[in-house]
Every structure is written in structure tokens, then in C-alpha cells.
Structure 1
């Protein structure tokens, strides 16, 4: 082994992050294979590499036996004692068998095996790096697009963004820089296969952690997220310290923090509400930006009946039921929305079960791409054909 090869191994260690020990083990295995193949030797051998001198030596390993049945694997006690008088039956004797032209033949034969082992070790390093990043957010560059995937360059590996994980309101082009959420990291023969998403609720959570220091340091906690990617999301937050305004921290001064996230998600509207262990308060907050007159809780069915002002019914339900649907997913409670008029007709105001006052202005905030404090769910005060709406 020349000094050039030693330098090459050292360079690989620095460039690829693969330890020298792994590379030397791969080289030794390759040299053993090369020796047996080229010199048709079936004996047990060991290869010793001297990094300082750059030398390779091959040793045949034989067991000391009383009766030699296989000369390739055994040596007689008398012959062993000629080498060293201390050898006993059962000991292993090593005899140097390095061929004169072994260096040239070994280099040619071992190149492919070493390259393969180096690639395997490099794949292992990359896999270890990215398995720790699973369920995290990374910035990548769109490389190419086909009918199944968008291929995103994450630096040392190319990730797959399936069609099902692409946001419907986005157009992707090569060289675009996008933030993605790592949903799956798998190891296979071709190297780590990484699947990423732009629609996963985890992406929204990580974006808030990046933009809101209070969430990152644990002062404010994200309790729940419901998301219809590209259109609207709801996020419930909580601060144990009563002096901390959890919603305000997420919104930021003049809506700057949440607006940054809205822009990253290409205009996806985000409702931020205060979490509460009281389902009455929590459900009322979750229906933001609609005002709530009363919440009736049915514990056994884990369901609620929510009464809203007549003029707010459309806003509470949302376009195609979206607001109510997201609120139900956020809270985990079924939500049946009724107008005040219908509630009076059905005698719901006479119900003595749990109720909620109208939602506090500080309990929630809504943001979209144009106005951090408005929502377009309201349909000019028009009432839907039916005021009954239930989501689970």
C-alpha cells in the first residue's frame, strides 16, 4: 500500500465523514478476497496493513494439530515448533505468504470492493444524519418534476415530495427553494429514501417553532393543529403562565410572525386560538372568527351543540362546512351548530347544561395573506338552506 493510498483514505475520512477504521476494514476484506481469487488459495488468511510504512502483508493462519488433515488450515506441532518453540496443540500459527506481485493484483481486484464498502459506509452516515431529522423541517431546492414526485435536493440526498403531499395552491418549478417536513426516512440498498411533505400538520408546527421564540423555549405550547393544506388551518396554543398571551405571542407585533408563516404557505389562512381544558371554552374559541352565544356539552357522546347569532351562522359553519370541520378536528369534539332563532324554537336556551359566553376578542386571531385580522368565510350575511351543521 503506497503512501498515496494512505493519504486517499485520510481524505475520504474528512470529505465523506467515514472513519478511517471503517475504510481500513473494508480494504482488508477486499485484499483477502483478492488474494484468494487471484492465487486460488482456500486457506484462512489475515491481511495486515502498516499505515506508517504503507506496507501490506498476507499471513496464512493455521491451527497446530497432532495429525494434519488439511495442510491449508493445519500445521504439525513439529513444524510449528520450528517457528516458535512455545507453540502447543490448538494454537494458531501465522505464516507470511505475501506474493511478490500482490500489490498490483490486489489494487486492481480490490478497487471495486473497496468502492462498494465506502458507498455503504457513506449511505450509513447519511441515513444516521437524516433519521435524526425525521419529523423535522428542512429547506430544499426543487431539482426536477415528474408525474409522481417532485425531487427536492436536501444537500447530501434527494428527497421525494409525492403528489398527495403537495399543496394544491402551489406551483413548483426547478430551483425553487421550499421548506419541507420529513415524514419518512428509510434505508435501502440504493441509499436512504426520504419522503417529505408540504401538507403535513407537522410543517405548520415547525414553522411556528421557528418564528415564535416562546414556542421554541416552551413558554407557549402548541396543543393541537387541524389543517386543510393550502386553504385554512387552526392551531390551539396554551401558556401555563397567566401573564403570557399565547395567541398574541404567535401573532406577533402587527401580525408579523403569523404573516411570515402565511406567506411561506402561499396564503393559507391560519386561525390561532387559546386552548382550554374546559370543552365549553375550547369549542367556543375553536369556532373563531365566529362569535358563540352558548355551548351545550354532551359528555357521553363527546359532542357539543353550539348556538351562534343568526347573522354569524354562515361564518361559524364556513365555506362548505370548513370552519366547523376544522374546529371539530382541533378539539376532538363533535360540533352541532344552530342559530339563535332555531335554538329558541327548540327550547335550547332552557337547557341547564354547560354554556359559554361569547368568545373573547383576545381568545383567537385569524390571519390570511391580505389581512391579519379578517376572514373571508362570511358570505354577506346570507343564511344556508339548513342551519343544522354537525362535524366530527
Structure 2
């Protein structure tokens, strides 16, 4: 290990970004261990590598004491003074003990250390690159599927899609290209571990940011997402720009933007609604594509009772309660859905607390006119009709109903 080795370290420093000084320190530490292992020495030693020439020297180190108890670690003051008269108690005496064939051992050790340090440096670079991309979206290729785990080749490293982050309706095939959400980046001894997700709501948000320039530029904000991966997602959007329709911007011309996202998510349905600070309006919109007659809210309990036409009850609740569940998650309100008939039969105030009952203002319904005489008159309560916003499910690519839901149509329409 001569001058050529030092030049090689400098080249590594330029190409890999690993400091020559750090490499030399690591090599010196490794050579100490190698010396003790190969020459059966238990004494303290120091290894010195000349940065200019690459020459290596090994020095034993002994502390100067009055009475020697361990001659591998200590030396008497009298013996120390024979080496140099200025030694005192507590000083350390160094003596070169470099073996003749130590150069070969040093070369092998140095090679191992350098390779290891380069790997660590490269892992560090990869970690720093991906740790800053947490909560972002990334594209990769499925390299293998093993024991329920999906491994995704990301180029410089590999990502892991664990079973609980996979979508139950998706099939993962070797060499398939997929987009995934970077859930977490961990530093491990084997390099960075990148945990991915296909079921996280953040994936939907990032896909909309890629497809909708208004969201990317901050003109349209995504204020909430509720998702049941593989089946349906609800997105609440808003804008401060009066000239921009936030829902229309997300849907795109003839549904082109939302359709690309639906295709990426393998047919997962999308409901895009406009956010409102009025909880009644927000809850009404969140239950899209169903129609709503009335919304009653209890601020105290943060709960709402929603009255829908009889023929819309199953649509409002959704298959296995999915639509109502997603609406509740999106709005943050507990939602109890009743048909007009059920509400009329109950004939009692909301949750039995008249003082907590609030009913929204009358607005003209966009699809079906709600007759005032069909609404329930409850004693000591102010009852007013609540209109509904335009059925967002009618927008192309925005929301699609199941066969079971579409079968239940307005009786007036049938006639």
C-alpha cells in the first residue's frame, strides 16, 4: 500500500464523495483489529498511515508506572528512562512493532474497509434522496412477489409493499409498472428501507396533483379525502378564485382528468364534491350521488340526521354502508340516514333533544321538487326544507353507481 493506494483513495473521494480522511481513519482502525487477530497481541497498538507516501507503521503503546502489573500494557519508569530520559509516570511509551509481512495483510484489510465504506456512502446518498420524498408518489417496476410482500424496483433501491398497504382488488404481477405512495423511509444496516402504499389516501391526492394543474399550482385545494381502497374515494375540494370551478377542474373536459386517475387505480370510483363551511351543505354534498331532502345537525354531539327520499335510501347508505361511512369520514360528522317514511313514522325530535335540533334553510332542489306538505311538522321545532346541490354523480367520470343502486330510480322518472 504505497503512493498508488493514496491516489486511489483520492479518486474514490472525487467519484463517490467519501472523504479520504474518513477512509484513512477507518483503515487504521481495521488494521489495529487485524494486527491483534493475526499476531495474537493483546497490547495496545496504534497504526499510522502516512498520507503522502502510504507507508504503514504499527506502534505498541505502554503506560509508564511505578510497579508493573501487566507487561503488555505497562512499563516501569526505570525501563522507560532507558529509552528516553524525559519520561515520567503516566506517560505513554511508543515502540514500532510493524511485522515484516504486514503489508499484505494491510492491503487486504484496506480493500475490505474501502468497499464497505463506499457501500455505506452509497446507501447514505440513497437514503438522503428518498427520505426527502416521503409522502410523495413514485413509479417503479414489480421485481418479485414473495409471501404476500410485493418488492418494487425503484432504480437505485427497492421498495416494499406490505400486505396491509396493498389494495384487495388489485393483482400484482412481475414486471408490472405501478405508482405507489412513499409511506416511510427507514435507515437500516442493509441500506434504506422504503415502505410503499397503494391504499393510502395520500396516493389519491398526489395523483390529482399530477393530473390537475390547478391543484399543483395551489388554485384548488384538496381539503379532505376519505377512501376505501379499490372501491370508492370521496374528495372535498375548494378554491378562493371565484372564476374557477374546483369540481370541474378536477373532473376535466368530459371527465378526462378524473378518468385517468380512475384507470391508474384500476376502476376505483371517485366522488368529487365542493367543500362548504356550512355542515349541512357539506354533508349533503358528501352523500353524493344520492339526493337529500333535509339535514338536521346537533353541534353538541357533532352528529347529523339526514332525510332522503324513500327510493334514495339504499343509494345514500351505499353497499354495506360504504357511501354513508365515507361521507362521515370526510365530514367528520356522525351521520344517521333515514328515509322520509321512517322519519315520519318516528315522529320525534332529533335524538330526543329539541334544543339541539337545527334545520337548514329552504333551497330549491335541483333534481326532484320536495313538496312542503310532505315534510314533518314537529312541535316546538322550526322546520325548513333543505335543498340539494346538483347531483355530482351526473358529471362524467366523477361518480358511478353500482348496478344495485342504479336499479332504484325516481318513481316519477319511471312514469
TM above 0.5:
yes
Q: Which residue does 1:360 correspond to in 2?
A: 389
Q: Which residue does 2:230 correspond to in 1?
A: 230
User: Deviation at 1:22?
Assistant: 3.9
Q: In the aligned structure 1, how far is the partner of 2:215 from the partner of 2:82? A: 76
Instruction: Note if contact 2:271-2:398 (Cα within 8 Å) is conserved in structure 1.
Output: no
Q: In the aligned structure 1, how far is the partner of 2:23 from the partner of 2:281? A: 62
| Structure 2 unaligned blocks of 5 or more | 348-374, 411-415
Q: Which residue does 2:351 correspond to in 1?
A: none
Instruction: Note if contact 1:295-1:355 (Cα within 8 Å) is conserved in structure 2.
Output: no
Matches within 5 A, 1:45-56: 45-56=45-56
User: Deviation at 1:7?
Assistant: 4.8
Kindly provide the CA deviation profile for residues 166-213 of structure 1, in whole angstroms up to 9, marking residues without a partner as x.
Answer: 223433322221111223434444443333221111211222233334
Q: In the aligned structure 1, how far is the partner of 2:27 from the partner of 2:114? A: 6
- Other structure's SS at 2:328 match: helix
- Tell me which of 401, 404, 415 is aligned to 1:376: 401
User: Deviation at 1:146?
Assistant: 3.0
Matches within 5 A, 1:3-152: 3-10=3-10, 12-13=12-13, 18-77=18-77, 88-109=88-109, 111-112=111-112, 115-116=115-116, 118-120=118-120, 122-152=122-152
Q: In the aligned structure 1, how far is the partner of 2:306 from the partner of 2:399? A: 22
User: Deviation at 1:114?
Assistant: 5.3
User: Deviation at 1:266?
Assistant: 1.8
Instruction: Note if contact 1:139-1:154 (Cα within 8 Å) is conserved in structure 2.
Output: yes
- Other structure's SS at 1:324 match: helix
- Other structure's SS at 1:168 match: coil
- Count of matched residue pairs: 379
Taking structure 1 as the reference length, the TM-score comes to 0.81
Decide whether aligned partners of structure 1 residues 108 and 199 sit closer, same or farther in structure 2, where only a CA change above 3 A counts. same
Please say if 1:276 is aligned against 2:276. Answer: yes
- Other structure's SS at 2:329 match: helix
Decide whether aligned partners of structure 1 residues 76 and 335 sit closer, same or farther in structure 2, where only a CA change above 3 A counts. same
User: Deviation at 1:80?
Assistant: 5.5
Instruction: Note if contact 1:135-1:182 (Cα within 8 Å) is conserved in structure 2.
Output: yes
User: Deviation at 1:286?
Assistant: 0.5
Structural RMSD (CA): 3.3
Taking structure 2 as the reference length, the TM-score comes to 0.77
User: Deviation at 1:92?
Assistant: 3.5
Q: In the aligned structure 2, how far is the partner of 1:340 from the partner of 1:290? A: 14
Decide whether aligned partners of structure 1 residues 286 and 342 sit closer, same or farther in structure 2, where only a CA change above 3 A counts. same
| Structure 1 unaligned blocks of 5 or more | 384-392
- Other structure's SS at 1:290 match: coil
Instruction: Note if contact 2:258-2:398 (Cα within 8 Å) is conserved in structure 1.
Output: no
Q: Which residue does 1:322 correspond to in 2?
A: 322
Instruction: Give the greater-gyration-radius structure (CA).
Output: 2
Decide whether aligned partners of structure 1 residues 145 and 295 sit closer, same or farther in structure 2, where only a CA change above 3 A counts. same
